[in-house]
């Protein structure tokens, strides 16, 4: 840890005057206390010396042969003892105090006075005064010097006046002699006071520096503590993150296992029924049933993929919601129209209830709101085997906003408290067996909750195990003041036709469309769909030709594949937009990630479609951009879709669209082109021209399924991945051979015959 790099404040910038003053006082007190002790020793020493001098010089006073202790001895013992007793007492009880040092100063001056007297006023004895002042300067308190000086001056004045022999050693002394002595003392004081003032200033400076050091130290220590705490918190967070990541990893592993199961189950059905459809001896009814299973399984797979993409976006914080006028009743109607058939088919009752006030239109994201409701009602449907499902719609005002509440109640299996706790966690269902029993990705509630939050609301649940669950979803509909409310809505207000099958619109297109697509198979397939819808189609093999044609001719819309040789769709779109072209351009790409969509839109495209292209989605998307369009609804149920069939019997493969009279010729042309393509593929492989080989296989992959040959798509996809992975050429050759075998198994004549028969 580099403390200095980010925590130290320059010492000069840190100051703590109160602390510096406190430190100064503390040092001063300590100094004075130490000096007090020193003087205590000195006073006692002087006392002893005084007694010794008196005892040695004049121990006894005589009168004839009789003697007595000399007065000087008593004086040194008692008088000097009294003089030093007061400061000694103060040193003991008030050490370091102002009183003690001034008392010492007085005692020291009086000691000088006594010693001078005892030594007969000898001038040498006066040096004791100067020595005492020098010692007193140790206090670094000039006031102490003043006190001592005053005592000395007063003593000299008084004794010099009345007993000059006592202080000056002479019977007669000039009146000003005390002033002379005092003057020398003041002379010394001047230097000592200067030294005291400087010493005090140095002490203050030292105290200030010490305070700075302490402050810096405190800052460093605080920083160290803070950083240590941060490091500890980070360590804890890391451990938690690790545990969370491990838990998430486990959950995702479980999720992947579930997904594997979820994907394989419908895939198995699709593949199995597809195989069955290849059997020419199957009855029309069997084929119809098989197609229903395939379509249901496909939709299930699509739902799974949608969920996975949604949760990916949510986890990456990329999920955004629109703010559009949203008709609440219409959303409910649509959701009901989607799910009521399944609910009814399961023998459940479905109820719609409305509160007193229902907003006519709110500001929200209709698609996401619909997704939430479909998820919740679908969930209720999934876990309810008898009884009813109810959706209750109401609204309330919250902080000036209109909150729309949707309660979905069911009489299903319900949840335990533990299951409730896990219900909104991603990749989690009540338990693993739930997934196996009821299916689903386990993401629906997670997605719904996140969407509800994104829409300004919340999603909560209450449930009783064995009795059912109630999910409460709220969305913020915008400012209450702008909402128009409907009153008295009933279930009948929701005009939903609960038809047993879904009606599918037949879309007619009127306009001239430029199809920029390099793959001939997709050229034919897309052209077929567009022409059958009524559009006029002009095909361009790559982006360069498309740009050229768009500039020469007039088109109402361009359908632009984004991955083409010579000039890709991005460049072509950019050039057309740069040249002022304003007609709609719809991108076609095999990638389904959001960034591809963004990239296409950034290049200038008006909209975006992913491969494989669904006919209805293709036509409805285009219809939005053409000048005129007519949509007519025909009551063709899902179950009544063309009963196309693919059969495989005795090695013979047929297109799944072989019953479609319009598809017959294009399928024939596609099949006819396959042997040459296989020859070309082998040639590219021998020449190790993997780029061209990959392009060719990619086209087969894209076109195979579109012409009703999913086997071609499957094998071509595998070969394309082998090329991409730079697998050994022998393995790629095996794949191409397998592709050749499939192609050689196609009975084109049978298709034509059946087409003509239809």
Partner 1 sequence: MLARHQMTPGRTANAVAHWPESSLMTRNKEGFSIVLFAHPRCVCTNASLQEFRRLLEDARIQLQAHVAICQPLGTPDDWLETEQVSAAKSIPGVQFFVDHEGREANRFGATTSGHVALFGPGGPLLFSGGITWGRGHVGENPGRRRVTQLLDQPTTETNGELVSVCPVFGCPLLEE
Give the footprint of partner 1 on this chain (CB under 8 A). 57-67, 70-72, 75, 79, 117, 120, 159, 162-163, 165-166, 169-171
CB of 102 to partner 1, least distance (A): 25
Nearer to partner 1 by C-beta: 71 or 616?
Answer: 71
Tell me the C-alpha distance between 105 and 94, whole Å. 15
Partners of 359 in the beta sheet? 485
Tell me the C-alpha distance between 322 and 327, whole Å. 14
CB of 70 to partner 1, least distance (A): 7
Tell me the C-alpha distance between 349 and 370, whole Å. 21
CB of 61 to partner 1, least distance (A): 6
Closest CA to 211 of 25, 4, 419, 58: 25
CB of 127 to partner 1, least distance (A): 19
Tell me the C-alpha distance between 249 and 253, whole Å. 6
CB of 202 to partner 1, least distance (A): 43
Nearer to partner 1 by C-beta: 115 or 678?
Answer: 115
Nearer to partner 1 by C-beta: 65 or 433?
Answer: 65
CB of 21 to partner 1, least distance (A): 47
- H helix runs in 610-688, sequence order: 615-625, 664-686
Q: What are phi and psi of 539, to 5 degrees?
A: -105, 135
Nearer to partner 1 by C-beta: 60 or 284?
Answer: 60
Question: For residue 466, what is the enclosing H or E element?
Answer: none
Map tokens 């008898």 to a residue.
Answer: 386
Q: Are 589 and 612 in contact (CB under 8 A)?
A: no
Nearer to partner 1 by C-beta: 157 or 438?
Answer: 157
Structure tokens at 407: 């309660």
Nearer to partner 1 by C-beta: 114 or 259?
Answer: 114
CB of 78 to partner 1, least distance (A): 11
Tell me the C-alpha distance between 318 and 597, whole Å. 13
Collapsing DSSP to helix, strand or coil, 621 comes out as: helix
CB of 75 to partner 1, least distance (A): 6
| Number of residues written out for the chain | 758
Closest CA to 451 of 509, 506, 375: 375
Tell me the C-alpha distance between 338 and 345, whole Å. 12
Nearer to partner 1 by C-beta: 75 or 134?
Answer: 75
Nearer to partner 1 by C-beta: 165 or 614?
Answer: 165
Pairing of strands 458-464, 388-398: unpaired
Nearer to partner 1 by C-beta: 29 or 161?
Answer: 161
CB of 57 to partner 1, least distance (A): 7
Q: Are 586 and 517 in contact (CB under 8 A)?
A: no
CB of 171 to partner 1, least distance (A): 5
Tell me the C-alpha distance between 665 and 672, whole Å. 10
Nearer to partner 1 by C-beta: 109 or 402?
Answer: 109
| Integer Rg of the chain from CA | 53
- H helix runs in 514-593, sequence order: 520-532, 543-552, 569-578
């Amino acid at each position: 840890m580099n403390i200095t790099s980010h925590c130290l404040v320059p010492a000069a910038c840190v100051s703590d005057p109160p602390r510096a003053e406190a430190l100064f006082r503390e040092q001063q007190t300590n100094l004075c206390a130490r000096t007090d002790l020193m003087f205590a020793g000195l006073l006692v020493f002087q006392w002893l010396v005084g007694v010794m001098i008196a005892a040695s010089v004049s121990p006894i006073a005589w009168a004839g042969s009789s003697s007595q202790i000399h007065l000087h001895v008593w004086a040194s013992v008692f008088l000097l003892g009294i003089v030093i007793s007061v400061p000694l007492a103060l040193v003991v009880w008030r050490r370091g105090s102002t009183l003690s040092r001034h008392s010492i100063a007085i005692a020291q001056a009086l000691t000088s006075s006594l010693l001078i007297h005892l030594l007969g006023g000898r001038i040498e004895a006066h040096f004791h005064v100067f020595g005492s002042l020098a010692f007193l300067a140790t206090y670094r308190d000039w006031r102490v010097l003043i006190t001592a000086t005053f005592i000395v001056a007063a003593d000299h004045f008084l004794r010099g006046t009345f007993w000059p022999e006592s202080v000056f050693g002479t019977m007669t002394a000039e009146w000003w002699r005390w002033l002379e002595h005092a003057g020398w003392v003041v002379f010394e004081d001047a230097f000592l006071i200067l030294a005291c003032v400087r010493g005090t200033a140095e002490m203050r400076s030292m105290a200030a520096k010490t305070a700075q050091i302490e402050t810096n130290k405190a800052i460093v220590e605080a920083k160290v503590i803070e950083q240590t705490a941060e490091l500890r918190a980070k360590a804890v967070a890391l451990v938690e993150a690790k545990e969370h990541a491990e838990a998430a990893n486990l959950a995702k592993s479980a999720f992947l296992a579930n997904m594997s199961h979820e994907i394989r189950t419908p895939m198995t059905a699709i593949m199995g029924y597809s195989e069955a459809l290849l059997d020419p001896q199957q009855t029309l009814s069997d084929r119809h049933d098989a197609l229903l299973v395939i379509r249901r399984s496909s939709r299930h797979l699509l739902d799974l993929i949608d969920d996975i993409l949604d949760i990916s976006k949510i986890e990456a914080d990329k999920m955004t919601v629109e703010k559009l006028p949203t008709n609440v009743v219409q959303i409910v109607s649509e959701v009901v129209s989607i799910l009521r058939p399944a609910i009814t088919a399961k023998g459940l009752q479905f109820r719609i209830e409305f509160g007193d006030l229902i907003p006519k239109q709110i500001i929200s994201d209709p698609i996401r709101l619909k997704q939430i409701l479909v998820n919740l009602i679908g969930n209720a449907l999934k876990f309810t085997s008898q009884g009813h499902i109810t959706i209750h719609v109401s609204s309330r005002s919250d902080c000036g906003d209109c909150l729309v509440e949707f309660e979905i109640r069911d009489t299903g299996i319900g949840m335990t408290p533990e299951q409730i706790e896990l219900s909104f966690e991603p990749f989690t269902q009540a338990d693993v067996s739930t997934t196996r029993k009821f299916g689903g990705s386990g993401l629906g509630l997670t997605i719904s909750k996140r969407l509800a939050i994104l829409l300004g609301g919340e999603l909560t649940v209450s449930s009783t195990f064995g009795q059912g669950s109630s999910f409460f979803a709220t969305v913020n509909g915008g400012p209450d003041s702008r909402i128009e409310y409907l009153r008295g809505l009933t279930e009948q207000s929701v005009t939903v036709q609960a038809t047993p099958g879904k009606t599918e619109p037949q879309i007619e297109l009127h306009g001239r469309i430029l199809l920029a697509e390099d793959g001939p198979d997709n050229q034919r397939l897309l052209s077929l769909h567009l022409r059958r819808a009524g559009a006029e189609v002009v095909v361009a093999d790559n982006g360069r030709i498309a740009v050229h044609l768009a500039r020469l001719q007039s088109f109402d819309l361009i359908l632009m594949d984004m991955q083409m040789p010579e000039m890709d769709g991005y460049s072509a779109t950019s050039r057309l937009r740069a040249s002022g072209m304003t007609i709609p351009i719809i991108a076609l790409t095999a990638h389904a990630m959001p960034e591809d969509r963004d990239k296409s839109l950034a290049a200038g495209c008006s909209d975006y479609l992913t491969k494989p292209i669904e006919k209805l989605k293709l036509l409805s998307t285009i219809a939005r951009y053409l000048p005129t369009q007519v949509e007519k609804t025909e009551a063709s149920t899902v179950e009544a879709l063309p009963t196309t069939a693919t059969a495989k019997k005795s090695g013979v493969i047929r297109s799944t669209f072989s019953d479609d009279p319009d598809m017959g010729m294009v399928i024939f042309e596609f099949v006819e082109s396959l042997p040459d393509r296989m020859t070309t593929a082998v040639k590219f492989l021998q020449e190790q021209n993997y780029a061209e080989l990959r392009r060719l296989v990619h086209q087969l992959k894209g076109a195979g399924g579109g012409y009703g040959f999913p086997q071609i798509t499957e094998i071509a996809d595998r070969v394309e991945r082998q090329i991409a992975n730079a697998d050994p050429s022998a393995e790629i050759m095996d794949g191409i051979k397998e592709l050749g075998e499939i192609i050689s198994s196609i009975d084109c004549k049978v298709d034509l015959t059946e087409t003509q028969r239809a």
